Structures are given as C-alpha cells and as structure tokens.
Amino acid sequence: MNSLNSLDNPILTLRRSMALQKSYSLMAENMLVGKLLYMQGKNAALAQIADGSWLIRNTSQVNPHISIWTRNHEFVAMFEVNRIGSGNLLIQDGRRLKWEKVKQMPEEWYFSNNVGERIIKFSPEPAEYRKRGTSTLYPESMTLPKIGLYVLLGWFTLLVLEKNRNLKQITEKYTPW
C-alpha cells in the first residue's frame, strides 16, 4: 500500500472491491492507498492505510455516533453526526474537524479544520452511491497525520448515512399510519 504523502495528484477514488462483500479500495490513479473492510454483522469496518489500521464503529442506529480505535483498543477519535448529517470529529489529541454537506445535487461533503479551511472534499457518485466516489485533498490536509484515516472515515460516514436514509424510506413506505 502506498502512502498519501507521496502523491502528486490530490484526487482519490473510492470504489467497491467485490460485489458480494462490503469492501472498498481507496485509489490514487492506479495506486492502492487505503482499504475499508466491513465486518460482517457489525456496524464496523477496518480502515487500512500505509500508516496503520484502525477500527471504525458506529454505535447508534438513529444518528451516527462513530468512534475510532487502534487495533490495540486505544481510543483515537469520536465523530458525532446529527440528523441532517453534519457534525464534529473530536480527535484524542485535542484537534477538531467539522463535517458538513455543502451541496445537494450532486452531493458534496467536506471536512474543515478549526479555522474553517476545507481540507477534504467528498463527492459520491449518485447512481453508484454505495460503490464509488472521489475525494479531493486540499493542501491544508497534507499537514494532518493519518489523513488517509480521515478520508476512509468520511466514506464510512457517507455509507452509514445512506443506509439510514434507505431504512427510513422503507419504514415510511411500509408503516400503515
């Protein structure tokens, strides 16, 4: 796996690796820079980048409440997302990243730093929402340690939000009142 620090092009593509499994590859052109591997039957995934691997877990069925842990069970960050999808990532070292949706169609989501500079843009492809999308790294993002982890966390969050949206639509459709 290649490090994000060695990239010339700041555009990354997430694509589903296998049709029957929920596993995603994060690519920079033709180089693998990360993986998101869902754990069967759990609201969790293993995020892997060149710098290491982490467990990302959603502990809420209503509004995503996502935590990140090392493989040695050390806390890394907490990500709380509200009903409309925006929220804050609180990192163990005291940093905070803001998460927000800034465009409806086509969708665009961002992580911003504490002074409001956008650092990562997420653009899921509408027809392929659960299969592919692009992330753009802004120059400010390259100073963050583990930037690849935050890219994978953004995609995990978008997949959780999409799953919640689908469950809500099914519930509304089949609820008799």
pTM: 0.86
Which tokens sit at 132? 């592919």
In a domain, 13, yes or no: no
88: pLDDT confidence band, cut at 50, 70 and 90? very high
d(CA 98, CA 17): 29
In a domain, 115, yes or no: yes
d(CA 4, CA 125): 22
In a domain, 9, yes or no: no
Domain containing residue 109? 21-174
Amino acid in the structure at residue 2: N
172 phi, psi to nearest 5 deg: -65, -35
Query: What mean pLDDT is predicted for residues 125-151?
Result: 82
In a domain, 4, yes or no: no
- Structurally, the chain folds into a number of domains equal to 1
51-55, 91-95, 124-128, 164-168: which range is least confident on average?
Answer: 164-168
In a domain, 15, yes or no: no
Cβ contact 106:93 at 8 Å: no
